[in-house]
Amino acid sequence: MALLDIRNLVVEFDTAAGPFRAVDGVSLQVDPREVLAIVGESGSGKSVSMLAVMGLLPWTAKVSAERMVFDGRDMMAMSAGERRRIIGKEIAMIFQEPIASLNPCFTVGFQIEEVLRFHLGLDKKSRRDRAVELLTQVGIPDPAARLNAFPHQMSGGQCQRVMIAMALACNPKLLIADEPTTALDVTIQKQILDLLMQLQAEHGMALIMITHNMGVVAETADRVIVQYKGRKMEEADVLSLFENPQSNYTRALLSALPENATGDRLPTIAGLMEDFTPAPSAGEGARP
Ligand SMILES: Nc1ncnc2c1ncn2[C@@H]1O[C@H](COP(=O)(O)OP(=O)(O)OP(=O)(O)O)[C@@H](O)[C@H]1O
């Protein structure tokens, strides 16, 4: 049984110019321990789809889905309180801007311990011990002392490690990583990706990796969904996607990779919805 099963997700925003459909009928399933990449260019609705699952969209968003089931529980039917108990505990998310994701007014120790207090009700001493253990797991040197640091006293890479520690605090079944390395220096990007993959394997969690980077897809994913302008263009296991892409949009994305350039210039992607057709298997709820 899929850990997360979403059918026909639609997200529409009320804007001054009228309703805007950011996600248009996306279906996806993730199995326990599986790594699913959602890839697509900026604005393709990758983040909005996952923020809809987390219930983190602003009130201007209208979310509908035929099905949104996590670990056998219907997320569309549950109360806001029930959802809050799952979010951050069983499903955790990390974001592109680690420094902006942390609260600048509190030490990182306080912020990690707050997750442990809210979701697990641990006492002060157990919270501190667990926070040290978590910082150790994500590779922060001198963890007991670093708990007293404020986010501005840490580098971007260290802040992302802290975000990962917070996400792991309650041993989630699913981690959603939204462009987790995009804002970091190239050398740090690789370290954070390696850390995420190591923790995913050790903790046996499912991972949804949101990215615009085909290199990240190739390094991390078991299965891939290609999204464009709010619609699913293709879904395939990672090898099939690279070796035998079915949608002309996926082919355009792959041919725009620097290593696939044949002339002096990289090919551009035309950018008109009408030009691209989803792969025949992309539309249905069930995965190919
Ligand atoms: N609060 C909002 N109100 C109106 N439109 C929004 C809102 N949030 C996102 N959008 C729009 O929804 C579309 C999808 O955004 P989304 O952030 O999911 O894209 P993305 O594929 O994750 O790209 P990026 O990597 O740049 O975040 C974009 O056109 C964006 O402008």
Is 23 part of a structural domain of the chain?
yes
Tell me what the mean pLDDT of segment 237-262 comes to. 86
Q: Which residue has the higher pLDDT, 10 or 119?
A: 10
Whether the pTM exceeds 0.80: the reply is yes
Tell me what the mean pLDDT of segment 105-109 comes to. 96
Ligand 1 is surrounded, with C-beta below 6 A, by: 13, 15, 20, 22, 40, 42-48, 58, 60, 179, 212
Band of residue 284 on the pLDDT scale cut at 50, 70, 90: low
For residues 209 and 182, give the distance between their C-alpha atoms in angstroms, rounded to a whole number.
Answer: 12
269 touches 212 (CB < 8 A):
no
pLDDT of residue 272: 57
Atom of ligand 1 nearest to the CA of 51: 18
Alpha-helical (H) ranges within 143-237 are: 143-146, 156-168, 186-203, 214-220
Is 191 part of a structural domain of the chain?
yes
Is 122 part of a structural domain of the chain?
no
Is 283 part of a structural domain of the chain?
no
Amino acid identity for residue 156 in this structure: G
Is 130 part of a structural domain of the chain?
no
CATH number at residue 22: 3.40.50.300
**Digit-coded pLDDT (tens) for 156-184:** 999 999 999 999 999 999 999 999 998 88
Query: Hey, whose CA ends up nearest to atom 28 of ligand 1?
Result: 43
Give the distance (Å) from ligand 1 centre to CA of residue 47: 7
Q: Which residue has the tokens 């604005």?
A: 43
Amino acid identity for residue 153 in this structure: Q
**Structure tokens of 269?**
């992607």
- Say yes or no to pLDDT of 260 above 80: no
Is 98 part of a structural domain of the chain?
no
Tell me what the mean pLDDT of segment 240-262 comes to. 84
For residue 25, the enclosing domain spans 4-90+170-274
Is 193 part of a structural domain of the chain?
yes
Is 247 part of a structural domain of the chain?
yes
Give the distance (Å) from ligand 1 centre to CA of residue 69: 23
Tell me what the mean pLDDT of segment 256-260 comes to. 70
**Domain tally, the chain:** 1
pLDDT of residue 7: 97
